[in-house]
Every structure is written in C-alpha cells, then in structure tokens.
Structure 1
C-alpha cells in the first residue's frame, strides 16, 4: 500500500487529469452549442428530442467529473474555477430538461436507446448531488440550529435548560431508571442463556449409529465434490465461449480498499479546509501589506488627481462642479478616464433629463393609448398580408430552434479561466526549467538534492501559486421506456426516474443560489402516489441533501391555530418571511388535496382544511428568483381536490408509482442487509419480489421489521431465513390494487401536462393511421393496374 504522501501526489495528478478531460469535452460541446453556421429550424420531433437528449447526457457526464474534482481538489483558487463551471453546467442541465419537457409534454424521459451509442451505463444517467451543498455550510447550519433553539425556548416550546445542555432532575432520574432496568434485563438474559447452555451440556454428546454417521459424511462429501465439478464445468464452458475467467469476489479486500479510499477522501477535505484558511489569511495579509506600504503613495496620487480634476472643470466651465453623489458613483466617476468637459456635459444632461421627465408625465397616458392603437393596426395589416412573411419580405422559418441559455456565458468564462491557469502553469514550468539549468551549470552536485525535494513536495504545497492569482430511493433503471413509447404505450416511471426528478427540480436549485436565480423557476412541487411509496421520505431527503429548513403547513398541524382571516395571513406572512431569511427552505403541506377539497367531509369540517386555498396562490406569487423557497405538497388521493385550483398552485406534478419487479428485488436485498439479515440460498429474493407485486416500500419495510427481531437475527446461524417467514406479515396488509393505480393515472391525464401528452399521442396515432391508409391505397392502385394489364 502506498504511503499517505504518495497517495496525495497521485490523487492530485489524477483529479487534475480528470479536470483536463472534462474541460476538453466541454470545449467540444460548446463548439456544438455555438456552430459557425446557424442550423436551420428543425421540424421532426424525434430528431429534436435526440439532439436535446445528446446534449443532456454529455453535460451530465461532465457534471459527474467536475463534481468529483471539486470535492477532492485541494487548491483554493482552482476550486473556485471548477465551481464556477460546475454551476454553469448544472444550470444548463436544468435548461435542457425544461426544453425536453416542453417538447414531449412529460417530465419523464428515457434514454435507453442512446446509452449504447454514447457508451454509457445506467449509473451514468443518475444526476449527482454535489457534496458541497451541505459540507460548505455546516457552520451556517449549526448557527441556525442554535438560533432556532433559542427562539423556540423563548416561546416556551422547548425547555431553556435543554438548549443550554442541562437536563431537568426528573428527566435525569427517569433516564437512570430506564438504563438500570435495561442493565438488569441484560444480566438476567445472560444468566438464563448460561443456564440453558449448562442444561444442554449435562446430557453429554449423543452417540450416533455408525450407518447414520457414514451416510452423513457421504452426503457432505458428495455435495462438496459435485459443487466443485459444477464450477469446473462452468469455467470450461466460459473458456469455450471465449469469455474471460472471472476471479472470485474478495469481499474483505474490497471492503478494506473502500475504507482506505474513504479515509483518503476525508483527509483531502481536511487539507482543503486548511488551504482555504491559509488562502483567506494570505488575502488579508497582502491587503494589509499593500495598504501599509503603498497606501500613502496611492492616497497622495488620488488626492492630486481629484484636485487636478476640479481645477480642469473650473477652467472649462468657469465654476467648481459638485462632488458626484453616491448614486452616481462618488469618486469612481472622477477616475472613469473622462475629460472634465465630458463630465460637465453628463451632469448637465442629467439635470435636463430630470426636467423633461416632469413634463412628460402628463403625456405618457396619451402616447400609450396611441401606441396600443398602432399595434392593433399593425397586427391587422400583418394578418391580411401573406402568412409567414416578415417585414423585410423574407419568409419566417418555422420549426424548433434552441432557446438562448443563461448559463453558457458562465461556462465559456470558466473555460477561459481554465486556459489562463494552464498557460500560467506552463510558463511556471518553463521558468523552473531555466532556473534548474542555471543551477546545474554552476553546481552539478545539487541536482540530486533538488530532485528529491521535488519528489517529496506535493503539488498542493505551492502556496505562492494560488496566492498570486486571485435522497436515497433504491430503484432500478427503466430499460424499456423508449421501446414502449415507440409502440404508443406510456410506461410507468421507475423509482430511479422519480429520484432524478427530485434532484433536478428540488435539490440542485435549492443547493445553489446562482442556479436558482437563472434556471427555470420552480416554486412548487406535488408528489402524488399511493400510500407507502416514500413521498414524505423524499421531502426529508430533499431537506437533508440541501441543508434546508422544513416548515409544516399541513391541515392537521394547523387545526385550531391562528384562527380567523387575520391570523391566517399573519401565519403565512411569518412562515414565508422566516423561510426567506433562513433559506434554503422547504414548506411542506401533507394531504395537499384537503386544501382544495371538492366537498369537505363532515368529520373534517372542524379542522377547516380549506383555509389556505385563497391565500396560498397569492403567497406563491411573492416568491422571486432570489428566494430559495420551495413549496412541496404530498397527496395520496389527489382526485378528491378541485383540479383547476389544485394545478394552479402545484404546476409541477410528479406521479410516484409502486415499485416494479426490479426495484422490489433491490429493495428486499438492501433492506434485509440493512437490518442485519444474512442472505443465503434458502432465502429466495426473486420469489419474494414476484410475490410482492402490488406492495409498496412501506409494506415491505413493515414486513421485514416484524420478522427480523433481535432474537431472529441471532438464530440465523442455526436457522437461516426463508421467504415463507415474510408471507404472514405481508398477508396482513392490503396491497395497492390496480383500480387505485388506474384512478391515479386517469387523474394525471386530466392535468395540464397530461392533456398535452395525450394530444401528442393522439396526433401520432392519427399520423400512423393516415400512413397506413396511404399505403393501402397505393397497394390497391397497383393491384388494379396489374388486373387491367392482365
């Protein structure tokens, strides 16, 4: 195993190479984004989608590399360049996703037919969550927890002693009593176990019949020999087919390697923090040194320039001008490389504009009315003329064109910064070589010493270099999505698709301020699906991955609180005001359909579930691009709500289905291992995944918890787990029936996006029918011609 210093040097060169490869791929992609010849407008929907999907997948590959580089590279200045490009790539991903949604009228897209062409695997399609979202604001999160703790304590919701770290006497006594009872229970259990073991030993070993013993030995030996023979036959078959021989899995070695890699990553993050602190200290030190050494000279020269500027202005205008106000830039306007005459004319022009504005106030209304009339006339004139013609007489090209991006300028700027750093690095290498040659000419004996120093010194130790240049949801990928859509069958999205949407619509905008400000703004999300599919867990995962605060505005939590219209307005005002101050924030509304009930049930009238209906849409309008606040609603019965007002608040709707066979297989395996189960051939996971068709993640989790008790886990060595043990707890739960799933599908088809998708599907079917009719007509015509000739 390499030493720690060697590992750091190796990883620095590795991540530097990864960064270089990502930048090269990005340059090639930018050439496709900005071609020399403007492409014509495209009309084929399939070709347009393939273009967008290709860009999307390539940007996704670059994002994977840049995220890993930013997480592990240790140079502070390089990390700033990488982050600048990474945020631009994230924003471009969101723009391309929005383009695909507008084109296909569906939030779910499938790239299984393109993965093979781009030599990608399903894991490459996963949208990575940048680890710096939470890591770089840990101190902010800790301060926020302290602040919220003090606020809740002052309001009487939490005991002040808990906030200070002290425990009340009664609670301490109760905790000690519980701990003592647990200790006595453990001692009693250990004593009973020893008694049972002694009772079992007292009977002594039981002698077996020689024939029975021989039969058992033969059984074990025959099984071992047959397994060995089967393995050899399998290897011979693989060799015959030309497949390489697979080495046996080394679990212990893989685990040790994983732990070592995790240790090295943590160590590099520690070095990052150290270098960042050194970088900030060096910036302050350089500013102070410049201020102390060159400050008096700068101050004197600036005063002389200001004095000279005033004298030249008096010489040009005959009087001393007023000092520019702070709104006009203050002294910065003096040093804007302008002559006194230009400054004087600008000031006079500003005064004239102020006077004109006062006179023009009364004429604005008349002009606006005339302009509106002229626009109406122009529209009528254009409609009478030839359609598709522009004012200059040229035909307006119909079709789809890529919309301008808000993030590509940032990506281009980042690539230029990277090129500048690379040129600087090359110049530094040239200078070092020349210095080395001069030293070797004077003293040849020092050559070995300098080479040893260079070997021991890692690249991240060149401090003057950077100072001088300033949601875990298990689920399988959907492999047949494109095939089903080509057959005009809308596939049910997998849990992997849902996870990607949560990352794109929620985590990436909330985690980055620059991405949220310039990306397509998403103010609200609705997670709809049957009970137990993980809607609430996704909300918590969204908050965990971004470090966001969670505000609960569910009808059940607001029952009896803040009564009246004034109280409700005060509540919403305070919640969203605090959410903006402590952003990123997530405002969660559970059972969101209750806020928009068609008819309130009798047993829920006291709760007043529709209190938020009118004010919620108004509050959402006040959320701006700079506010990292997201409204998330969860519902299992969305068809009970008024569709129009419901979709007006929640414009992004994600339908979460029950898990398919592949996802259930992964769920069983992951959850069993997490609860301490040992997988053996006796436990048929494939049968369990098949039997649990219709069950959700919640059903499977409850069944595993009921079976895997502490006692059952201890008995696994003598009595391995079997699939039959999980059937009784599953039988006690009601699965998700097809009727409920179909009801959700029908409801989603009535949403605005669902209606648009249905129109596209219907139009495609009509086109295919028309093609079939044309083909039949041509065939019939050729047959008639043949008959006439005959």
Structure 2
C-alpha cells in the first residue's frame, strides 16, 4: 500500500479527473437538450424568415435573389441588411449630429473672439509637465466583468443552492448561440436547394454552378502551362516548405537555441527608496533591480504570455537592454523566454554569416518570421546589437554581413502584425558606440540595467555573495565576512561575483571545506583579478 500522503494525492487527482468528466458530460447534455427541445422551433423560424425575405425580394425586383455563399455568412447576410425605416433613422441621426457640430463650431468661434477682446492676464501661467497616465484599454473589460457580476451574482440568493457548482440556465444561454449556428448551417443547405428548385420552376433559371465550373476548367487549362514552368521554383521556395523543416534548419544553423531555465525572481536585488528623493529634486537616478524586473515583465513577459494583454496593451515590438558587461542582460532574455514559454532565436555574426549577402539575410529573417509567427510566442535576440549600428567600417566579412541587418530590421518589425506575439530583444554593453539615429528607431523601449548596489550585495535577507556561495555548495562560517565582501566588491557586477565564486569553489575546494573552511581572503584575491565598472563608464550610460 502507498503512504498516506501519496494515497491522498492520488485520490485528489482521481477526484479532479472525475469532476472534469462530469462537467464535460453536463455540457454535452445541455447542448443535446437544447437541440431536442428548441431545435425544431429554431429551424422552423429560420426557414420562415428566409422564405419571407425571398418573397419580398421577388416582389420588389421581379426575380428571386441568389443565395448568399457561406463565405459571407450564409443566411446571416440576409438578416444583416437594414429596412428602409432604419436607413431613414440613421440619415436623420447623421444630419442632427452634423448640425450639432456646426453649432459647437460657431460657439467656439464666438468664444475665441470674446477671449481675444479680453486683456491678457499679468503673470506666468503654470504648466504641469509631470507624467500623466493615459487611458487604459483594460478598463472596459473590468467594467464589463463588474456589470456582469452585478447583474447575475451580486443579488443572487444561493441559500437553497447548497452545492453551488453551476447554473444550468447560464450554461444554456451560452450554448444557445452555438446550437443556433449549427442549425443555421443545416437550414442553409436545405433552403439553397429549395431556392434552386423554385427558380427553375417559376423563373426558368438554371444553377450558376455549371457555368462557373466551365469557366474554372478553362482558367485551369490556361494556367497549366505557366504552372508547369514555375513548378520547380515554387517547390524550392520557402512558401512550400513545412514549419518542421524550417525549424530543423534554424536549429542546426544555431539560429534557434535552447532556453535556459531561469526565472525572473532569480534576478535578485533590493529596492532603493533613496531614488524617490533624488527624483523629487529633478535628477534621474539609475533604476533599481526590482524596477528592472517590473519593466521586463511589463514589456516582455506579459505581452508574450497572454494574447489578451498583447492585443489590448500598447504594442511593443522591440526592447533593448543596456548596461555594463556582466549585469545580467542575457539572463533577463532567458527569463523572458522561460516565463512566457517562448522560442529563442539568436542572431550573431557567426550565425548570420551562414546566410551571406542581402538576399541570404532576407531569406533568414523570413524563415525566423515564419517559424516565430507559427510557433508564437517567440523572442528574436541580438547580442551586442551596437555592432550592427556601429559608426566605423567593419573589417571582417562576418561583420559586414552582420551590419546589413541595420537596414533590414525596420522591415522585419514592419512585417510584425498586432496579433503576432514576436518580440525583438537587443542587448548592448556599449550603446554609445552605435549611430544613435537608426539605433533608437529600431528599439521602442530601452531599459538600463544597473550594477548591484550595497543593499543587493549585502542585504538583510538575500545577498548576492551569500546566494551564489550557497548555490555553489559552499558553507558559510564566521571566517567569511560578507559585509567586507560587499564593500570590497563595490563597482563590480553580478557576473564578476559569479565568476569569483565559481573560481574559488572548485570541486577540490568543496571536498576540502570540512577541514579547511572558506575565508574572505580567497574571494578577495580572485576578485582583484577583475576590472570593475569605473565611474566614467557608468556615467556614459546616463
């Protein structure tokens, strides 16, 4: 027999499975019941309405109309058409609205004339230049949900409903539209055949399908010769290739890489409250690590992970992460892909060099775009993106090919539609080396990644030194002064600290730890071999 905790877990899983099966059966039974009880009435009503429309049309035009094809909605297109009374009402409403606009325009002109006659006021006008939040696209959705709750659930008396599992009437109301659509398709087939028979008997018209079929045959024969010559070219084009073959090629060429399992919460850091004081004085301080996490989630993870957020939030097609080397830009890219479950395409000089020339790069971007859209969400990552927009002339052939992306990236972003969850992410440790004009046009949002401050290196709960030492398998004793390490490592990045910990805590050193505990000097000696981020470089980012 299983242990008690495993038995409880298995019983809960079985209960959830049975509950899901019961809900599916209930949904099926509700739809079946609607078809049985309301189906005949819906079918009869639709047939009567369609017949009445055809008779009225023949009375006005003298002939029966053609049945609307399924592409235009079938019989739905008949009921969408408006009556003459509705058209007159709309025209009257438009006329009234135009008159109202003219009156408002005249009122504004009179007001401007009156204001022009007034003497100007003495004194300076106060202009509010502070940032103001724009209207949210999600407010309407929240209001709809709130109103739905107020209508259906707020004043609902559930005292007699002990189980409170579902409301049959609400389920039927939701299923009724789908049932009507299924019946409408069946009615369209019946009424279309009936209309053809009536046309043949009354007006003597034959079906237009025969004539259309002959025209199609003639057109097909005329195109046969052209298709025979272009068949080989079409088969070799990207349009005829499957997503699996394109995916395989991108993976083999190194353009599609594996995402590292990194969470956004692993990018640890503290919020510095002193930055708010600096903002009040008019200064623009460097963002803290929690603010960076928030921006990455706002512009990267949420739009990629949710189609609803992507469609309603402001569209962001490109994102740039800048900061000194080792601050965690690459880690944030992998964190975005991990949280959103996205594919990661990496563009580097070595990978783009496998598709030489402008035509090769266009084909490569087309492959990435096709696979990325089909298997969205997707992230296209360009490391050291400033090299694409560098001011100097490239020397190596790979660099020349890599710089050609500068003119192709705007076209790539233009090909992304609002429904496509594809994000272009660039990382740069020296953005000031790039030509800022085209560089800033490609990337919509730019996030500055700071080096860790003292609170992050030595905080109360989570510190970089303590976190990485314990993660590597080290043991902390009184001989390791974390406060000293935090002060000595001022100006160094997270990458430097990780490299120092990995250099010190080798496999041999971990085996010797029981009889030879870790000391602060070991980490300080290894840290001295790295160059910190100097003040001049840090100021260049601001």
Alignment of 1:318-357 (within 5 A): 319-326=63-70, 329-334=73-78
Q: Does 1:298 align with 2:55?
A: no
**Which residue of structure 2 aligns with residue 615 of structure 1?**
408
Aligned pair in 2 of structure 1 residues 278, 479: CA closer, same or farther (>3 Å)? farther
Q: Do the aligned residues in 1 keep the contact of 2:464 with 2:494 (CA within 8 Å)?
A: yes
Are the counterparts in 2 of residues 555 and 591 from structure 1 also a CA contact under 8 Å?
no
Q: How many residues align?
A: 414
Cα separation, 1, equivalents of 2:347 and 2:14? 39
Offset at residue 674 of structure 1 (A):
1.8
Deviations 1:679-703 (A, max 9, x none): 3333221111111111111111111
Contact 2:391 2:435 in 1 (8 A): yes
Contact kept in structure 2, 1:699 and 1:730, CA below 8 Å: yes
Alignment of 1:48-447 (within 5 A): 278-292=22-36, 294-314=38-58, 319-326=63-70, 329-334=73-78, 403-423=134-154, 426-429=156-159, 431-432=160-161
Post-superposition shift, 1:317?
6.1
State the 1:643 CA deviation. 1.0
> Within 5 Å, which residues of 2 pair with 1:557-568?
557-559=351-353, 561-568=354-361
With over 3 angstroms needed to count, the CA separation of the structure-2 counterparts of 1:516 and 1:387, relative to structure 1, is farther
The answer on whether the counterparts of 2:158 and 2:164 sit within 8 Å (CA) in structure 1 is no
1:536 and 1:267 mapped to 2: Cα distance? 43
Kindly state the Cα deviation for residue 676 of structure 1 after the two structures are TM-superposed. Answer: 2.4
- Report the Cα offset of residue 632 of structure 1: 0.5
Residues 634 and 502 (structure 1), Cα distance of their counterparts in 2 relative to 1, 3 Å cut = same
Contact in 1 for aligned 2:286/2:448 (Cα 8 Å)? no
TM-score (norm 1): 0.47
> Secondary structure at the residue paired with 1:552?
strand
Residue 500 of structure 1 pairs with residue 291 of structure 2: no
Counterpart in 2 of 1:509? Answer: 303
Distance 1:713 1:387, change over 3 A: farther
User: How far apart, in 2, do the equivalents of 1:538 and 1:317 lie?
Assistant: 67
Report the counterpart of residue 584 of structure 1 in structure 2.
377
Secondary structure of the structure 1 residue equivalent to 2:350: coil
Distance in structure 2 (CA, Å) of the matches to 1:321 and 1:589: 58
What's the Cα RMSD here? 3.8
Query: Counterparts of 2:26 and 2:357 in 1: how far apart (Å)?
Result: 57
Corresponding residue for residue 334 of structure 2: 540
Gaps of at least 5 residues in structure 1 are 5-259, 350-377, 390-396, 433-453, 746-790
- Which residue matches 1:756? none
Higher helix share: 1
Match of 2:267 in 1: 473
Counterpart pick for 1:695 among 492, 515, 538: 492
Structure with greater contact order relative to length (CA < 8 Å, sep ≥ 6): 1
Deviations 1:263-303 (A, max 9, x none): 99999899777755654453334323433554344323432
Unaligned runs of 5+ in 2: 92-104, 117-125, 175-263
CA contact (8 A) 2:372 2:422 kept: yes
Q: Which of 503, 510, 520 lines up with 1:723 in the alignment?
A: 520
Mapped partners of 1:273, 1:570: distance in 2: 47
Are the structure 2 counterparts of residues 616 and 315 from structure 1 closer, same or farther at C-alpha, using a change threshold of 3 Å?
closer
What is the deviation of 1:614?
0.8
Deviation at 1:704, TM superposition (A): 1.2
| d(CA) in 2 for partners of 1:267, 1:706 | 49
Task: Return closer, same or farther for 1:504/1:684 CA change in 2, 3 Å cut-off.
Answer: same
Following superposition, the deviation at residue 490 of structure 1 comes to 2.8
Post-superposition Cα deviations, 1:216-266, rounded to whole Å, max 9, x if no partner, equal xxxxxxxxxxxxxxxxxxxxxxxxxxxxxxxxxxxxxxxxxxxx9xx9999
